[in-house]
Amino acid sequence: MVSLTDNAPATQQPRPRRRQKGSGLNRVLMGILLVICTIWLIVPFGMAILWSLVDPDTGWNYPDVLPPSLSLARWVEVWTTTALPDALRNSYLLAPTVAIITLILATPTAYCFARYDFPGKGLAQVATLLPLVVPGFVLAIFFSSLIFNLGIYSRFLSILIAHCVLFLPYAIRIMTVAFENVQQDLIDAARDLGASPWARIRVAFLPALAPGILASLIIVFIQSIEEFAIAFIVGAPNFVTIPSILYSYLGYNFVRPNAAVVSLVLVVPNVLLMLGLERLLKSANPAQAGVKG
Amino acid sequence: MSWRRTATILLLLMPGLGLILIMIGSVFYVAVMQSFGYFNLVGEDVFSLEHWRKVLDSKAFNRAFQYSAYIATVSAIGSVALAYPIAIWLRRPFRGSLVVSALLKAPLFVPGLVAAFLFINIVAYHGILNQLFIWLGFIDEPIRMQNDRGAWGVVFLQLWKNMPFALLLLSGAVQGISDEVLDAARDLGAGAWDRFRKVIAPLSVSAMQAALIIIFIGAAGDFAFQVTAGPTNVQSMSQLMVFLKDSFGRWNQAAVVGVCLMGLALGGSLTLALISRLLLRGGRW
């Protein structure tokens, strides 16, 4: 998603500041918005945290406004009695593998989009978005049908392949922008000074590509951890990931405190990574890094 | 172009674009062929229109199709309608505008299942909303809001999750409109609505179309929101597809639903995009 922002605020020219009209109105709107955001984010997540800390001995029943006592018992229980450790291992093994392979697969295509002109390039770029426009469950179900027909029985491998294809559009887009930021002057200068191809990559390409590489790794990592349709359909019933465990607590055997624990396990690391990414993208602002030479 | 250059380009495109085309192409092929009786996991492959007839005749399918089309249309139009005023408000930076836009975009990073869980916590029978209403004296006893029949819960979740995405796309487009253009419109006597209708909307129509298309497709294929917060008397297309596959392994019928869902996603989203273009630009491209 973040890839879509790259053409937005960075292109803003600084304008001479003039006095903001209606700054009073803005303050009122801000006030309303902060209240809405409290309802929008703080209350839902606050409830989830409270539910995950409910003491199983006392429970949290109507009409108590807050749980009568808090404990970490649910966390311990979910960790020791459910498949959550398995799911965590699967998800956190799968996601970095997907992130690295996707980056490797995306790089040549991104290089081609950024540095070659050819007939049908626009169409080719639109075609890379295909995985994003096929409904997730259609992709999941008929991909599973395809791999059964091909006789591939490794769940890990199957989900790995599907995730790589599904998240290639993000990696290709981010890396295309990154390659566009590589300055031709630098490549030429390095060549003129007799740098070997490897040295040219190191001095001219890598510094400009580094933020894009990291951004691509993080985005794909997060997407892979959160992905549900393929992990659920292809992985069922033996290969569990964090979202499929969460789904099992939301379905017929609805266990609210357990679902709260798993929700937080799923969201919190990703929010931290996302904040890191935000800083990274700010430092990689093309307006500061200089434009293509 | 020399053959060498062509070969280089094709070779470079192979691992990325090539893989995407092969994989999406084969998934599409498998779905279509399976709907006509091929690619069976058990039994012989025989061409048959029987699966199409069975599915198209079933009441469950027709309800699911209409329901998914309805949810997708309302979500796409609703998200864009909510995001526009906010994008225009945030067009020029002011103190705190970055914080506001970050807070508004936060739901983008909350996975669908977690969002659904947070939502049903709030609207549960003894949830915080019911308690608040009772405390305020609006109602005497809790009302049943979870899994409501009108699918308001699902629509709310779709808007919660998709409005930030529409905002992301529209902010970029709206910020790209120069002050001079808007000032000129104002000088010519255009009111706020006219400035939106005749200047801002036509100039940001591409971003709007992209938002409509992507949100429509996502909402038409929804599974997570529908299963956790949706009405229990109707299934979404994805839910029906999973149900058919899981109950007695009716893969061929699931394939028919899958092909129809792809048709709905493509047809519906393009129709919305076309209508918005016609309304705002009067058919000029």
pLDDT in tens, A15-36: 444 445 567 787 887 788 778 7
Burial of A235 (0-12, 13-18, 19+ CB in 10 A): buried
Q: Is the peptide bond before A63 cis (omega within 30 degrees of 0)?
A: yes
- Residues B206-253: tens digit of each pLDDT: 999 999 999 999 999 999 999 999 999 999 999 999 999 998 888 999
Residue A284, pLDDT score: 57
Indicate whether B24 pLDDT > 50.
Answer: yes
User: Is the pLDDT higher at B92 or at B272?
Assistant: B272
Q: Which of residues 63-92 of A touch B (CB under 8 A)?
A: 63, 65
What single letter denotes the amino acid at residue A21? K
- How many residues would you count in chain B? 285
Which tokens is B19 given? 């893989």
Residue A271 with chain B: CB contacts under 8 Å: 109
Interchain contact A256–B (C-beta under 8 A): yes
Q: Which of A179-193, B12-26, B153-167 has the lowest mean pLDDT?
A: A179-193
- Cβ-proximal residues to A203 (8 Å cutoff; 6+ apart), any chain: A186, A190, A195
**Predicted confidence band of residue A8 (pLDDT cuts 50, 70, 90):** very low
Write a three-state SS string for chain B: CCHHHHHHHHHHHHHHHHHHHHHHHHHHHHHHHHHCCCCCCCCCCCCCCHHHHHHHHCHHHHHHHHHHHHHHHHHHHHHHHHHHHHHHHCCCCCCCHHHHHHHHHHHHHCCHHHHHHHHHHHHCCCCHHHHHHHHHCCCCCCCCCCCCCCCHHHHHHHHHHHHHHHHHHHHHHHHCCCHHHHHHHHHCCCCHHHHHHHHHHHHCHHHHHHHHHHHHHHHHCCCHHHHHHCCCCCCCHHHHHHHHHHCCCCHHHHHHHHHHHHHHHHHHHHHHHHHHHHHHHCCCC
**Predicted confidence band of residue A6 (pLDDT cuts 50, 70, 90):** very low
Task: Tell me the percentage of chain B whose pLDDT exceeds 90.
Answer: 57
Q: Is the peptide bond before A237 cis (omega within 30 degrees of 0)?
A: yes
Residue A5, pLDDT score: 42
> Is there a contact between B114 and A267 if contact means CB atoms under 8 Å apart?
yes
Unique residue bearing structure tokens 């779709």: B158
Question: From the CA of A184, how many Å to the nearest CA of chain B?
Answer: 19
Residue B165 with chain A: CB contacts under 8 Å: 1
Do the Cβ atoms of A162 and A98 come closer than 8 Å? Answer: no
Residue B281, pLDDT score: 75
Rounded to whole angstroms, how far apart are CA atoms B175 and A189?
37
Indicate whether B11 pLDDT > 60.
Answer: yes
Question: From the CA of B191, how many Å to the nearest CA of chain A?
Answer: 16
Question: From the CA of B230, how many Å to the nearest CA of chain A?
Answer: 12
Do the Cβ atoms of A262 and A183 come closer than 8 Å? Answer: no
3-state secondary structure of A253: coil
What single letter denotes the amino acid at residue A266? L
Residue B285, pLDDT score: 52
- Cβ-proximal residues to B252 (8 Å cutoff; 6+ apart), any chain: B34, B35, B37, B40, B48, B51
Residue A22, pLDDT score: 61
3-state secondary structure of A22: coil
How many CB atoms within 10 Å of residue A193?
Answer: 10
Which tokens is A177 given? 């922008």
Question: From the CA of A139, how many Å to the nearest CA of chain B?
Answer: 7
Residue B40, pLDDT score: 82
A172: left (phi over 0), alpha (psi -120 to 50) or beta: alpha
> Is there a contact between B121 and A256 if contact means CB atoms under 8 Å apart?
yes
Indicate whether A62 pLDDT > 60.
Answer: yes
Q: C-alpha A45: how far from its chain's center?
A: 20
Indicate whether A197 pLDDT > 80.
Answer: yes
Residue A4 with chain B: CB contacts under 8 Å: 168-169, 172
Residue B65, pLDDT score: 97
- Cβ-proximal residues to A48 (8 Å cutoff; 6+ apart), any chain: A260, A263, A264, B117, B118, B121
Do the Cβ atoms of B46 and B269 come closer than 8 Å? Answer: no
Which tokens is B142 given? 């809790």
Q: Nearest-CA residue of chain A relative to B28?
A: A142
Indicate whether B41 pLDDT > 90.
Answer: no
- What is the ipTM score, two decimals? 0.87
- Cβ-proximal residues to A189 (8 Å cutoff; 6+ apart), any chain: A204
Interchain contact B74–A (C-beta under 8 A): no
Indicate whether B146 pLDDT > 90.
Answer: no
Rounded to whole angstroms, how far apart are CA atoms A98 and A117?
29
A-B contacts (CB, under 8 Å): 226
> Is there a contact between A141 and B23 if contact means CB atoms under 8 Å apart?
no
Of A4, A141, A233, nearest to B169 by CB-CB distance is: A4
Indicate whether B48 pLDDT > 70.
Answer: yes
**Predicted confidence band of residue A12 (pLDDT cuts 50, 70, 90):** very low
Interchain contact B116–A (C-beta under 8 A): yes
Residue A119, pLDDT score: 92
**Predicted confidence band of residue A200 (pLDDT cuts 50, 70, 90):** confident
